[in-house]
Amino acid sequence: MPPPTPLSLLSSSSPPSNLFPLNNHHHKPFLSRCRCRCSVLSAPSPAVLLVGGVKKPSPAENSRTIMELSSSGTLSTPPPSSHHHHHDADGAGWPLALGAQFVADADGSPALCLSRSLLLPAPTRATFHVQLEQSSLRTSHCTLMGTFTKAADDELLLEKLSARWKKKFGDEIHKDLVYVVSVERVLHMEDFNEEGIWVASSEYSNAEPDPLRNFAEEIVNEMNSGHAEDVQRLCNIFVDSGFQVTDTKMIWVDRLGFDLYIYSEKGVFAARIPFPREVTDEKGVKSSFNSMSHLAWEVEKNYTVPEFEKVNCLKKIR
């Protein structure tokens, strides 16, 4: 357990200090700009999904985010070619699945660097499965279906992939061993045992990965470890659960809001709390958490009347 922060030592009559200190001295108080309802965000775009009246990134956007944050996945291809008619020791006749490092190109297509010893058929149909663990409690994942080909003939593409590979892994890519999967369909799942949602290739390639992706995990970990009391308060004030909450964990944060797991004697439930407005950078998300935390404290102490609609769409996880 980490040592308690000054925030957790404050008396009940003192407002919470900023969860995330901000350098902008012109930052306006939350109450001057947050007397709003959850519908303040602009009208839904194709990249926004409405669930129970609360906005969240679309499956296409989430899939692009998974592909940007992950560095390895599982490639599945038809059986390697063989002149034999029986299933030999080299695995001929069996579908082949193997782990591989990858980078995603500008439209989200994965590029893999494979071993010289693998005689994989190309071009051929293939799937590439990638997953992203979130707060050690949820595993969001996507399966890309498409055509598996060698990239050796496209020098411009290889140059771009080589730069991305060096940035991600710190070493040079073997250009003659690069394969790409041209995405034709994507199956996105929020977690194991969840219902999958199919995404068209055009929707996937046109989506943008979440702008908070590179620091989302760090913020979630900091909220759970250093500001658990505030996470609990955010749940109590912004969620209408209808039952006694025993614990709350933040699972993930994105440009439109954040996901919680709510624990009770009735089970574990997932809920989503929207931000008052879309955020696009680290400063914006920290400012939103600071503001929402102060408002939650004032509502809890009956210093102000809540003028927002509580979230009442909960999904039982277990």
Helix (H, G, I), strand (E, B) or coil at 180: strand
pLDDT at position 171 is 92
- CA torsion 259→235→135→191, rounded to 10°? -40
Note the Cα 23 to chain centre separation in Å: 27
Strands (E), 114-205: 124-134, 138-150, 178-189, 197-200
pLDDT at position 44 is 40
Token pair belonging to 89: 């020791």
Measured in Å, how far apart are the chain's first and last C-alpha atoms? 26
pLDDT at position 269 is 96
- The DSSP H or E segment spanning 291 is helix 282-300
Q: How far apart are CA 266 and CA 257, in angstroms?
A: 25
Helix (H, G, I), strand (E, B) or coil at 293: helix
pLDDT at position 53 is 78
Q: How far apart are CA 108 and CA 283, in angstroms?
A: 27
Q: Are 178 and 111 in contact (CB under 8 A)?
A: yes
Domain ranges in the chain are 15-56+213-316, 60-206
pLDDT at position 227 is 95
**Integer angstrom CA distances of residue 164 from 68, 112, 159, 168:** 11, 12, 9, 6
pLDDT at position 254 is 97
Q: Are 135 and 152 in contact (CB under 8 A)?
A: no
Q: How far apart are CA 33 and CA 103, in angstroms?
A: 41
pLDDT at position 17 is 65
Q: How far apart are CA 137 and CA 135, in angstroms?
A: 5
| Beta-ladder partners of 101 | 72
pLDDT at position 46 is 53
From first to last of its 318 residues, what are the pLDDT tens digits of the chain? 443 343 333 334 556 667 766 554 333 333 333 333 333 333 344 567 777 778 999 999 999 999 999 999 999 998 766 434 444 555 567 888 999 999 999 999 999 998 877 767 778 999 999 999 999 999 999 999 999 998 877 888 999 999 999 999 999 988 888 999 999 999 999 999 899 999 999 999 999 999 999 999 999 999 999 999 999 999 999 999 989 999 999 999 999 999 999 999 999 999 999 999 999 999 999 999 999 999 999 999 999 998 888 998 899 998
pLDDT at position 117 is 72
Topology of the domain comprising 15-56+213-316? Split barrel-like (3.20.180)
Q: How far apart are CA 18 and CA 181, in angstroms?
A: 45
CA-wise closest residue to 211 among 73, 107, 57, 105: 57
pLDDT at position 48 is 75
Helix, strand, coil percentages in the chain from 3-state DSSP, rounded to 5: 30, 30, 40
Helix (H, G, I), strand (E, B) or coil at 12: coil
CA-wise closest residue to 70 among 164, 148, 168: 168
Pick the CATH number of 60-206 from 3.40.50.720, 2.30.110.10, 2.40.110.10, 3.40.50.300: 2.30.110.10
Largest Cα–Cα separation, the chain: 79
pLDDT at position 189 is 97
pLDDT at position 8 is 35
**Integer angstrom CA distances of residue 123 from 105, 149, 306:** 18, 4, 59
pLDDT at position 139 is 97
